[in-house]
């Protein structure tokens, strides 16, 4: 995480999937980028956050997300599709 943080100078998040949410385990924050409201120990929705979509995209195909709305990726294969692609 530290290497990625130093190369990108952006926020770096480490999260694990817990049902339909991502549980934030660690966060490295850059000072000169937009602030985020994420906190370690907090939960993020899988279907509407970058870290959540990555967890969903690489989940086993038998692990769909139980929540979602119109146009929201709720399966691993749908999360792998790039926007506009």
Bridge partner list, 15: 24
Cα 49 to Cα 3, 21, 34: the distances in Å are 22, 10, 15
Each residue's pLDDT tens digit, 26-43: 988 888 888 777 889 999
pLDDT for 84: 46
pLDDT for 25: 94
Where would I find the H helices in the chain?
A: 2-8, 50-57, 76-80
Q: Say if strands 43-45 and 21-28 run parallel, antiparallel, or are unpaired.
A: antiparallel
Fold of 2-80: Beta-Lactamase (3.30.450)
Distance between CA atoms of residues 25 and 10, nearest Å: 17
pLDDT for 24: 93
Which residues of the chain fall short of a pLDDT of 70? Answer: 61-85
pLDDT for 23: 94
The domain locations on the chain are: 2-80
Q: What pTM did the predictor assign?
A: 0.66
């Amino acid at each position: 995480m530290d290497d990625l943080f130093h190369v990108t100078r952006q926020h770096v998040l480490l999260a694990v999937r817990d049902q339909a949410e991502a549980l934030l385990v660690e966060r490295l924050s850059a000072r000169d980028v937009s602030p985020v409201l994420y906190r370690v120990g907090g939960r993020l929705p899988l279907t509407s956050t970058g870290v959540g979509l990555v967890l969903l995209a690489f989940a086993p195909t038998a692990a769909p997300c139980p929540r979602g709305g119109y146009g929201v990726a709720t399966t691993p294969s749908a999360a792998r599709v790039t926007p506009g692609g």
